[in-house]
Amino acid sequence: MSFEDKVVIVTGAAVGIGKATAIAFAEKNAKVVVADIDNKKGKQTSSLIGGDAFFIEINVANSESVKNMVKEITNRFERIDILVNNAGIYYQGDVIETPEDEWDKVIAVNLKGMYLCSHYVIPVMLAGNGGVVINVASEAGLVGIAGQAAYNVSKAGVISLTKSMAVDFARKGVRVNAVCPGTTETPLVKDALKSSKDPEKERRKLEECRPLNRLGRPEEIAAAILAMASDNLGYATGSVLSIDGGYTAK
């Protein structure tokens, strides 16, 4: 796979899957935009990558923030080739335990954020030579996982949004696919484990429920994102790729 001179936006690129994805694209010679709400860690990732990579602070749930990001990128590069909608947050709780404000926050970042980034980026792609959008969903969007209602719903929405955008823009030169990671060794997962009563027991539970008997690595998810974004898989649009250690195959 080669992404020579491709302009790639990765949201939520400061840490975890987003960081691994940004690094992987840069290694394939892409011009990477590290977009994240975390200024400090975002700049660290951008500096680590070096080259043409640069950081933009963004709140994906805020339309003005997204518009400003797109304007800055187009002023610099005059095009956008690939958008990786990866930014996301997590909240633990069923519908009774989840306060309304937390529900709204999860949906705003995880689902509305992908809508807003796509809403403002896809017109730039259409005005150029087309492009690819990769939405990072989750195994939680495919099956019901106990105790995380808002997160499950947000990720199921991402899958539906992916399919909707794929059929809307297939004949206009924009492909849209989703990857559905299983539980992966990211700061988000590590924080969730720390907040549990018995982190080690909870980790073993997450590992043992998968046929591969382990958690995923960010680099593995990044590899799938690059594959789905590459011309090698140019016939794929509206695809939903599970990378979950076999969890949803059971």
Q: According to the model, what pLDDT value does residue 190 have?
A: 85
Q: How confident is the model at residue 182 (pLDDT cuts 50, 70, 90)?
A: very high
The type of residue at 167 is V
Q: According to the model, what pLDDT value does residue 197 have?
A: 84
Would the pTM of this model clear 0.75, i.e. be above it? yes
> What is the set of active-site residues?
151
Per-residue CA distances from 49 to 7, 31, 32, 35, 96 (Å)? 14, 10, 9, 13, 43
Q: How far apart are CA 31 and CA 246, in angstroms?
A: 33
Mean pLDDT, the chain, rounded, equals 96
Q: HSE on the CB side for 10, CA within 13 Å?
A: 31
Q: What are the counts of helices (DSSP H) followed by strands (DSSP E) for the chain?
A: 9, 7
Q: Which domains does the chain have, with CATH numbers?
A: 7-184+218-242 (3.40.50.720)
Looking at residues 211-229, what average pLDDT do you find?
A: 97
Q: Coil, helix or strand for 203? A: helix
Chain segment 94-112, per-residue pLDDT in tens: 999 999 999 999 999 999 9
> What is the SS3 string spanning 116-138?
HHHHHHHHHHHHCCCEEEEEECC
Per-residue CA distances from 215 to 135, 183, 184 (Å)? 21, 6, 5
> At residue 162, does pLDDT exceed 90?
yes
Q: Kindly calculate the radius of gyration of the chain based on its CA atoms and give it in whole angstroms.
A: 17
